[in-house]
Every structure is written in structure tokens, then in C-alpha cells.
């Protein structure tokens, strides 16, 4: 079901149902009429992120293509799952496949940050020919244990804050090493992308705390899984690997290997940021534009 946009908004809300009865949400940006026949761009957020993570990038992408931005189950406007063990990449792939079928989309390009990049690799591996191009934002088939341990330590933990400024300062304290150049205005913008206001007037993270459950299971992270076959499933399509210069998730060695592994893969490092680039950075935006220009037109 698609809900028409409100005045002043540049997207429509779309809702669909998963196989296990979870109501899911996506934002759909129409794109230019001239590109109506081109495969759309599917934006997939990171583990604790949601569709708002692309609030600056999606309108930019939509000047070239139709754009679909997902809230994974348990995030943003998508409902929480009854079974927390469904908060895993293969379930997200199933949810996406249902959405693409419902919208009549056979092929799409993907922009995936962190978890979203893993999901895009699995989509390419399980739906041959579906992915026409991929942007992997600070993620790849090899993940660094130190970064995964850092994420596991904070995900699903935390209380609430009384104001947006308090919340922004808490986010800054947790992520200062990732975005060392951020001002308080940058932290506030990031916080409003990742948090929500409760009916009681408190600021909390905008996801189900149970998304951490699969990460608590022994061997429940992706570090022990060989994802290189899934990465190679991109084949001949244009692939852009963005790496934050300070990243503790995607090593420089792994990123260079990714660039060499596929014929049309390119690596761009975003200076001065860790995991993960916001893709609002000038270097990232220029790389994104070059990648879009390489995507097949039909």
C-alpha cells in the first residue's frame, strides 16, 4: 500500500507485509519521468539506522533515478518482530524480495551502509540478475573483530534523554572517534536521524532493542561467515566501495582486495571519518555521482 505524500515532502510512504506478519515501511522517491524505465536505486541502512539515514542522499539520487529507502523490520516506521531471531540478513532479504515483487521490480541498484551492504550482497547471491549495481558503504565480505565487538557492546543498550541536545551530546560521547570533525549541529542532525521522541517526551533510539539478540548468540556475527562468494555474485555490475579512513569495520587491506576482486569495482576512501561515512561528505558524494553514471539505463 502506498500513501500519497504530504505537502512539502518529496517521497511517498509505502507499507507491505512480511511472510511472518510484520508491517514494513519504505519511502519511495519518484525520480525523473525520463528515467521511469531504468532500474531504481534501493537504499539499505545500517544496523541501528533507518530510512532517515538517507534524508540528504535520497533526494540527490532521485534527480537521476526512482529511489526506494527501506526501514528494516524493527526500525523507524517498520513494526517490531515478535521473534527477535528474525533480525538477521537473510530475513531482510526475504522482506526486500516481497517488496520488489509487490512493486513489480525485477532489477535494482543497491546502496547499502554496513548491514545494508551485507544484505545487498546476499540479495545478489540469492536473486541472480537482480542487482544492477552496488554501493557498499564501509562494509565488505571481511569484517574486523574489533569493530564488531564495539558495535556489540553498545547495540540494544541505553536509556532515554530529556532533550534533543542531551541526546546529541550522548551520541557525540559514544561516537567522537568516528566523526572527529563534527560540530554540535552535525551531532544533532545525526541524532534526529537515529532517535525518536516518545509519547512521554523522552528521546530514545529508534529501533527495537531486540535487534541485538542475534549478535549475542555464539558465532552470531558475520565475522565467521565466508561472504566472498556473495560479494563475487555482483559479477560484472558497477560496484563502488566507500571506506571511512578511520574505519574499524572495513580494513584498508580488505577494501583494496574488494577493488581487485571484481572487474568493475572501485574503491574510494573518505578522509577523516570512521564507520560509516554519512555519504553527505564531498568526496563520497562525488564518488556516488560517478557510480550512478555507470549504472545501466534499462
Domain boundaries, the chain: 2-150+224-294
Rounded to the nearest 5 percent, the helix, strand and coil shares of the chain are 40, 20, 40
* Euclidean distance between CA atoms 155 and 47, whole angstroms: 9
Supply the DSSP string of 59-103, one letter for each residue: HHHTTTS-EEEEE-TTBTTSPPPSSGGG-SHHHHHHHHHHHHHHH
For the chain, 298 residues long, give each residue's pLDDT as a single digit of tens.
766 665 568 999 999 999 999 999 999 999 999 898 999 999 999 999 999 999 999 999 999 999 999 999 999 999 999 999 999 999 999 999 999 999 999 999 999 999 999 999 999 999 999 999 999 999 999 999 999 999 999 898 878 999 999 999 999 999 999 999 999 999 999 999 999 999 999 999 999 999 999 998 765 444 468 999 999 999 999 999 999 999 999 999 999 999 999 999 999 999 999 999 999 999 999 999 999 999 999 8
Question: Do 13 and 99 contact (CB within 8 A), yes or no?
Answer: no
Give the per-residue pLDDT at 156. 85
Give the per-residue pLDDT at 221. 44
Give the per-residue pLDDT at 220. 43
pLDDT in tens, 233-275: 999 999 999 999 999 999 999 999 999 999 999 999 999 999 9
C-alpha cell at 212: 541485538
C-alpha cell at 244: 571511512
Give the per-residue pLDDT at 109. 98
CATH for 2-150+224-294 is 3.40.50.1820
Helix, strand or coil, per DSSP, at residue 147: helix
CA distances (Å), origin 167, targets 101, 212, 219: 39, 21, 32
Exposed e or buried b per residue across 108-143, where buried means at least 16 C-beta atoms within 10 angstroms of its C-beta: bbbbbbbbbbbbbbbbbbebeebbbbbbbbbbbbbb
Task: Tell me the pTM.
Answer: 0.95
Amino acid at each position: 500500500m502506498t500513501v500519497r505524500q504530504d505537502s512539502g515532502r518529496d517521497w511517498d510512504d509505502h507499507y507491505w507485509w512480511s511472510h511472518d506478519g510484520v508491517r514494513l515501511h519504505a519511502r519511495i522517491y519518484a525520480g525523473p519521468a525520463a528515467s521511469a524505465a531504468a532500474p531504481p536505486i534501493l537504499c539499505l541502512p545500517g544496523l541501528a539506522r533507518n530510512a532517515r539515514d538517507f534524508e540528504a542522499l535520497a533526494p540527490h539520487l532521485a534527480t537521476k533515478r526512482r529511489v526506494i529507502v527501506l526501514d528494516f523490520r524493527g526500525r523507524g516506521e517498520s513494526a517490531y518482530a515478535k521473534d527477535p531471531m528474525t533480525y538477521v540478513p537473510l530475513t531482510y532479504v526475504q522482506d526486500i524480495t516481497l517488496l520488489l515483487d509487490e512493486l513489480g521490480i525485477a532489477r535494482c541498484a543497491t546502496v547499502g551502509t554496513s548491514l545494508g551492504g551485507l544484505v545487498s550482497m546476499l540479495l545478489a547471491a540469492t536473486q541472480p540478475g537482480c542487482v544492477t549495481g552496488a554501493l557498499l558503504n564501509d562494509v565488505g565480505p571481511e569484517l574486523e573483530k574489533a569493530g564488531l565487538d564495539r558495535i556489540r557492546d553498545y547495540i540494544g543498550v541505553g536509556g532515554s534523554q530529556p532533550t534533543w541536545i542531551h541526546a546529541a551530546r550522548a551520541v557525540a560521547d559514544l561516537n567522537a572517534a568516528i566523526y572527529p570533525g563534527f560540530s554540535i549541529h552535525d551531532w544533532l542532525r545525526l541524532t534526529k536521524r537515529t532517535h525518536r521522541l516518545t509519547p512521554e517526551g523522552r528521546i530514545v533510539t529508534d529501533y527495537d532493542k531486540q535487534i541485538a539478540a542475534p549478535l549475542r548468540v555464539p558465532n552470531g556475527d558475520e565475522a565467521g561467515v565466508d561472504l566472498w562468494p556473495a560479494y563475487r555474485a555482483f559479477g560484472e555490475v558497477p560496484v563502488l566501495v566507500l571506506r571511512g579512513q578511520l574505519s574499524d569495520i572495513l580494513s584498508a587491506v580488505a577494501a583494496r582486495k574488494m577493488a581487485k576482486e571484481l572487474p568493475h569495482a572501485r574503491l574510494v576512501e573518505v578522509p577523516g571519518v570512521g564507520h560509516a561515512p554519512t555519504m553527505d561528505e564531498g568526496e563520497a558524494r562525488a564518488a556516488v555521482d560517478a557510480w550512478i553514471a555507470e549504472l545501466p539505463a534499462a
